[in-house]
Structure 1
């Protein structure tokens, strides 16, 4: 039997302490998510509704299949910046007429849906997800274009939005634009470059230059409707493929467009008879310690997310700080790499490289569960080849072509973050738990290194060292690195696709695995040179 046993004691003091710490972090996370849900605030929401319009998430709800899930991505984008949390854009994956689609929806209650630098990054990430997973893209448009005060950060890189639309179309990935209101200036190219365009009567306004700009540029007097209204584009310019009577009608038409795509997934589907885990998902709250210096067994996590808690471990007695093995998740086969004790040694690195090669040989997606402080340092480990062995693991990750999914559960520090397929290694999806932290190293270690360097510099110059100033600097650095390591900070910069409740991990990963199977799953046939 390969069903994982459990040593977790849900009635114990340790479990209870871990659970309470996680619940406190989840409460803080809910408060931040609420800021994104609030949009531009009650006044702007009320004004928007007063115009007879639906909110961005209400539009999405009408678009996707009834009672089907919507996996929202990057809801904390722009957190900690001068721009509103959520970046005036909702993105995610939802099922429309049985077809998984990437959906984006401007939030017009936030500065009229204008795009700031974080809106752009969030939209480009959505386009990337559509491209690599071959998912149809549906844009629900209502935006005044670039947020003009921040144009210096939006205009030049913003051209990638239109580039992506044409490349998606050229790759045979359908694109749909549903225009509910303004789609002006550069934003006019969104419907212009989409395969299918729907416009709402008396609401949609699509023009390169609105009446004020036209008046300034040419002296011509023109009204919104004759310049860029839905009726004009449906009858005269031909930009509108479908003319909708109102917002629900526009969303109905969008659903019909997707239905007519006759979209099919390549390859076999999942095992529909997949068993749920043997242990309760609720227990995921009490596994990760509040202090990430305290190790935990990732098999307790694996047992609560994989089908039937069934896990065939690979090399269980070798490189024991990294658990590797085979499982199924919502009926899809996966290979799992999970940090067991934090530090990665040479054996763990070699084991990981071999396992990643095996997954590619079998064309099996990989799931990385992070809790690592990085690769081991020290004279014995350097002499033992930790650099070349760590490079071997990173080589395998970097050149693997099967889909990668990453979840940051605890620490994800140093080059260990890279070896475990951090953001720079382009996992198809990367999520974090509220307990996660990621940085070049831990706050105390980083502050300590800076202190040692400063102390050595003072000694080399023959100067006395100010211990009091050193303590103050260390405290400031520790505080800064701690703040910059937290999930909300990292998620705000789109270094992950969202911070999730641990109890939702199996569901989120199942949705992601289903999404990645819209594209062929094929393993790598070659790697870079492995230094032996």
Structure 2
């Protein structure tokens, strides 16, 4: 056993300052999450309840097993845009009759549950997670279809929603639709393309066009119930497989469908006799300094995340600014890559490539803990083959086939973000701490580069340099990049699956490892050509 020994001093002023800064960030995060929980606002929530209907999270709470976890995904979708925080839908992974399922619930309190561009992106991300991890998909439907004023951004890419449902079914992954209200236009195809459909008597209304549009198109007179009511679909069209008497009954039927699936996991079960870390997860709140230029030891994070704080480090004396090694989290084996001092050199890149190959050889998932400013630059490092070595690491990450999970702890800049399996490299899951920042480079560095280029151009034209204008430009660019590097900004654009409390890291990663084990975990057999 290789038990990590913590040297973290929780009584130090540095720890106290970092913890205080993190608490402030968590308070800001909670305020934004509260906006998402509020849906369309008190007026529409009250109206929904007065109609005897449940809110999306209330439906989810009844659907999942009592006292079981629900990992909500992308709760800050649309943050910083003209649309409500949350993207007008709730997505996540919950446990139903012991089976981890992806759940998508429309929020009818926000513009009738219609889909805006962020609703679409959030739902497509949930579909990807279901397919990649072989998780049954449950849609809690109450949707008016596309938000018509934004149709130019929704209609054409929105076809993927229906393609995904059919591909999930073709892959043997069950899809279930519980219809709680209107499911019109494009929304009608969600039950239409699901394997199992539950509708509620006198509540569910499923049709391609409502009575007004039918009247306009054909001159036919109709009403909601005869055109697309649950009773009609259960008795005449055959679209409804089960007819529920109310919302609670529909949820009961949905749970029964999952129970009868007798779903079998294809990946490994967790190792027995799981031991908690030897150090308190509470300590994680003060490990990352507020100033990301100050380094921290990622082993202090690892010691509070992995089982029994047992970490078998790989190549500890070589490429020491990248920590690599083997551990277990909630009984699941995992290989960990964690940035120690920010910059990645050639040695770290080669070490990472070898470690990723080893993980694929033994079918072990990988966890990437980000705090990197990128790959080292400069003449000496270019001459030593930095591009080749960085490319080797990126090649290994790109072609690895075991599940990847990324957590951004601090900085995640430049190509280092790629080498550590950023969003573009399709990790199964990617989360950020409130302390994280991600961009092509830091704001001050980027502003400085623009200034240098501008000065050189002015000198080439024989023009005088306006120092005041240059200073103002630098300040504006730095402020812009800092704002666009923040985790809530990035999470709003779905560049991660959520900003999490550091103290929840162990449970979030463990839940994701369990989800990945719903499907087979198999390593890559070929990594292509490594430039040596």
**TMscore range, shorter length:** over 0.9
Deviations 1:314-336 (A, max 9, x none): 00000000000000000000000
Secondary structure at 1:197's aligned position in 2?
strand
Partners of 1:6 and 1:163 in 2: CA distance: 50
8 Å CA contact 2:338, 2:369 repeated in 1 = yes
The 3-state SS of whatever aligns with 1:260 is helix
Does residue 117 of the first structure (1) align with residue 117 of the second (2)? yes
- List per-residue Cα deviations over 1:23-82 (Å, max 9, x = no partner): 000000000111100000000000000000000000000000010000000000000111
Please tell me whether residue 316 in structure 1 is matched to residue 316 in structure 2. yes
Measure, in 1, the Cα distance between the counterparts of 2:92 and 2:38: 18
Residue 267 of structure 1 deviates from its aligned partner by 4.1
Q: Which runs of 5+ in 2 are unaligned?
A: none
Secondary structure in 2 matching 1:373: strand
Task: Write the distance in 2 (CA, Å) between the matches of 1:128 and 1:122.
Answer: 10
Structure 2 matches for 1:32-431, cutoff 5 A? 32-431=32-431
Q: Deviations over 1:171-229 (max 9, x none)?
A: 10000000000100011000000000000111100000000100100111100000000
Q: Deviations over 1:283-342 (max 9, x none)?
A: 000100000000000000000000000000000000000000000000000000000000
Q: Quote how far apart the aligned CAs of 1:12 are.
A: 1.2
Q: Secondary structure at the match of 1:431?
A: strand
The match for 1:512 is 512
Contact 2:490/2:496 (CA < 8 Å) preserved in 1?
A: yes
Q: Distance in 2 between matches of 1:186 and 1:326?
A: 47
Moved over 4 A (4+): none
CA RMSD of aligned residues (A): 0.5
Residue 373 of structure 1: how far off its partner (Å): 0.2
What's the counterpart of residue 22 of structure 2? Answer: 22
TM-score after normalising by structure 1: 1.00
Quote the Cα distance in structure 1 between the aligned partners of 2:11 and 2:294: 20
Q: Does 1:444 align with 2:449?
A: no
Question: Alpha-carbon deviations, 1:339-374, whole Å to 9, x = none?
Answer: 000000000000000000000000000000000000
SS of residue matched to 2:261: coil
- Partners of 2:294 and 2:201 in 1: how far apart? 60
Shift of 1:528: 1.6
What secondary structure, in the 3-state scheme, does the structure 2 residue paired with 1:259 have? helix
Name the TM-score, length of structure 2 as normaliser. Answer: 1.00
Match of residue 466 from structure 2 = 466
Distance 2:138 2:326 in 1: 35
Using the alignment, how far apart are the partners of 2:102 and 2:320 within structure 1?
39
1:241 CA drift (Å): 0.2
1:360-412 CA deviation, whole Å, 9 max, x = no partner?
00000000000000000001000010000000000000000000000000000
Structure 1 residues 260-295: Cα deviation after superposition (integer angstroms, max 9, x where no partner): 111001143101311000000000001000000000
The answer for the alignment partner of 2:434 in structure 1 is 434
